[in-house]
Amino acid sequence: MKAEIGARNCLYPMPTTLVGALVEGKPNYITIAHVGIMDPGSVSLGMNKMHFTNVGIGANGTFSVNIPSVKMVEETDYCGLVSGKNLDKAGLFKTFFCKLRTAPMIEECPINMECRLTRTVDFPSHDIFIGEVIETCCDEGVLTDGFVDLAKVDPILFTMNDRSYWKLGGRFAKAWSIGNKLKDRK
Amino acid sequence: MKAEIGARNCLYPMPTTLVGALVEGKPNYITIAHVGIMDPGSVSLGMNKMHFTNVGIGANGTFSVNIPSVKMVEETDYCGLVSGKNLDKAGLFKTFFCKLRTAPMIEECPINMECRLTRTVDFPSHDIFIGEVIETCCDEGVLTDGFVDLAKVDPILFTMNDRSYWKLGGRFAKAWSIGNKLKDRK
């Protein structure tokens, strides 16, 4: 039996990220889980216009997307609770740069993507920043046969419904593969 | 030690969805995991322009986002392996409609969102369809205290890195809450 529950966004869980930008010349990090994948090489960030970080992304045309591990959940949640307007959140982490000189990244996060802003989509209360991934850095310890292994990353997944963080469970099937059984039967 | 691994998109896992649209008047479903959240009420779909479904979304200005459960993994993967140009994939499922008359939804999926197309962002090989959620239907069995409970939905999470499907793990912390410990210590 289907229940109609109103216009509720249930496209969850989403990966929780720490987005980095230089704001007024200083690194700043903010927790964002309203993210997306556009084409395979591009990502999106849905960021309320009130955030301090938005100004820096617009000014520099660059940002970073850092994927924290479950063990970083306190710091990750904290970066969504306080604004860089009032507090220096970058002091929580060791900042590094790679190819882009204006996309600060977090050493402690096992995955870091530096992005060049390619488009901004304007929503009434949100800037949607779309960026092309320019370079990806990762801890060597999260690679398995040269691939980023999410089981080793241990990401923090987010659901808005119950405002909770979740762990990733186990890998259970191959994509573009398990459906072949059904294809063969058709 | 950080490794530079090239411009690899690591914004995973993403929820695997079955996107529904009427194409040439008939329901069609396609597997899409390159999705996103824009502002809280809007979602995005990153869809290669070669897909049959894109024509229907553009023509009707509506689509649905259906969240399949782990037990539907064969059907879900299958809908990404074959094209509606050649095969009627809608026959796999029971189709229903809610408020929008041109956004077919899948009865067997525990969550169904019907969306109105509000913008299309043009990428070289992809259409990014952005839609506002108009109504959400769900199986009554996935609700806990009126909230959609992802543990009951048992969604299929996708990673491109290793082309795999993953289960959701356990809920382990409250968002906008666990970081308060750190805030108090600052």
Pick from B10, B12, B8, B47: which is nearest to B158 by CA? Answer: B12
Instruction: Output the CA angle A46-A49-A54, nearest 5 degrees.
Output: 80
Residue at token pair 């969240």? B67
pTM of the model as a whole:
0.97
To probe the interface with B, which of A4, A35, A39, A142 has the most B CB atoms within 10 Å?
A39
| Nearest chain A Cα distance for residue B126, angstroms | 6
Instruction: Output the CA angle B166-A178-B127, nearest 5 degrees.
Output: 75
Q: How far is CA A145 from CA A149, B129, B161, in A?
A: 9, 35, 11
Check pLDDT > 90 for residue A100: yes
Tokens of B28: 């069609």
Amino acid at B165: Y
pLDDT at A33: 98
B118 touching A (Cβ < 8 Å): no
Q: What digits encode the pLDDT tens for the residues A24-71?
A: 999 999 999 999 999 999 999 999 999 999 999 999 999 999 999 999
- The reply to whether residue B9 touches residue A111, judged by beta carbons under 8 angstroms, is no
Interface of B with A in 73-112 (CB under 8 A): 73-82, 87, 96, 98, 107, 111-112
Per-residue pLDDT, averaged over B57-74, amounts to 98
A128 touching B (Cβ < 8 Å): yes
- The reply to whether residue B182 touches residue A12, judged by beta carbons under 8 angstroms, is no
- The reply to whether residue A39 touches residue B123, judged by beta carbons under 8 angstroms, is yes
pLDDT at B158: 98
A106 interaction partners in chain B (CB closer than 8 Å): none
Per-residue pLDDT, averaged over A107-113, amounts to 98
pLDDT at B183: 83
Name the residue with higher pLDDT: B36 or B88: B36
| Nearest chain A Cα distance for residue B132, angstroms | 9
A123 interaction partners in chain B (CB closer than 8 Å): 38-39, 42
Residue at token pair 């995955």? A111
- Cα separation, A34 vs A158, in Å, equals 9
Pick from B142, B117, B135: which is nearest to B56 by CA? Answer: B117
| Cis check: omega of the bond before A13, within 30 degrees of 0 | yes
- The reply to whether residue A107 touches residue B140, judged by beta carbons under 8 angstroms, is no
Q: What digits encode the pLDDT tens for the residues A131-171?
A: 999 999 999 999 999 899 999 999 999 999 999 999 999 99
Amino acid at A25: G
Per-residue pLDDT, averaged over A100-129, amounts to 98
Share of chain B above pLDDT 70, in %: 99
pLDDT at A110: 98
Give this complex's ipTM.
0.97
